[in-house]
Amino acid sequence: MKAWLGAAALVTMACAAEAATITWADLTGGGEDPLEPLTYTEDGITADSGGRSFYWGPGVVSDSIFNAPRAIAFTMTGRFAAVSADLYGSEIGPWLAPDAWIGLATGWRDGVEVARLAFDTRVTGSLVFSGDFSHLDRLVLGLNPDMLGGCDAGDLHPGGVCAGYGVGTVTLDPVDAPAPIPLPASAALLGLALAGLGVAHIRRTR
């Protein structure tokens, strides 16, 4: 009977999604055009520079480098949970006020910010996201929006806002896993038939 039930149970199997990671493996930066590329896609994750470019290298977020992203937005084809991001700290302007060193990770769903996490852009380490960063359609890693715009390229002077950091690997976990494989009606009938054969077999052997 167990064998028959095991065979019938096979018809309920479904596919499970696995976490995806962007490593910037195919993006070296320093190309011929400082305006390209604007986006980068790897392992089902797309990183968007917000109309700027990744010319200056993988995952660079800066308020002082020409055309570098002020923030990077990460998306997938469906909703996802943000798992972690490896960050590389940077001290571009050591004279800055503490607020200038604040980096912000924000989670978005249907155009609404649903999660926020502040971090120190001078610190190198792994940023681990809480459960608030789940069922997102966009994860944004950026700088303190209240401090942006005070420092232009080549204008590194006391009082200017010049902050930045590097984004290494980013791991996202799709939460909209593929739905269970739809089975034709014949498969369901097959399961019932197998179960019925099992019952009949038991009756004959008694």
CA distance 36 to 46: 15
Strands (E), 32-178: 39-42, 45-48, 60-62, 71-75, 80-88, 102-109, 112-120, 125-128, 138-143, 164-174
Fold that domain 20-174 belongs to in CATH = Jelly Rolls (2.60.120)
pLDDT at 122: 85
Four-CA torsion 36, 168, 40, 82, nearest 10 degrees? -140
pLDDT at 133: 97
- Residue range 139-159: mean pLDDT, rounded: 62
Four-CA torsion 98, 103, 108, 113, nearest 10 degrees? 0
DSSP structure class, residue 136: B
More confident residue, 177 or 87: 87
- When the pLDDT of each residue in the chain is averaged and rounded to a whole number, the result is 74
3-class DSSP state for residue 144? Answer: coil
Range(s) of the chain covered by CATH 2.60.120: 20-174
pLDDT at 108: 97
Greatest mean pLDDT among 84-98, 120-134, 170-184? 120-134
Share of the chain above pLDDT 70, in %: 58
CA distance 62 to 70: 5
pLDDT at 45: 96
Buried b (16+ CB within 10 A) or exposed e, 32-48: eeeeeeeebebebbebb
CA distance 191 to 100: 63
pLDDT tens-digit series, residues 68-109: 888 999 999 999 999 999 999 886 655 555 666 788 999 999
Cis omega (within 30 of 0) for bond into 37: yes
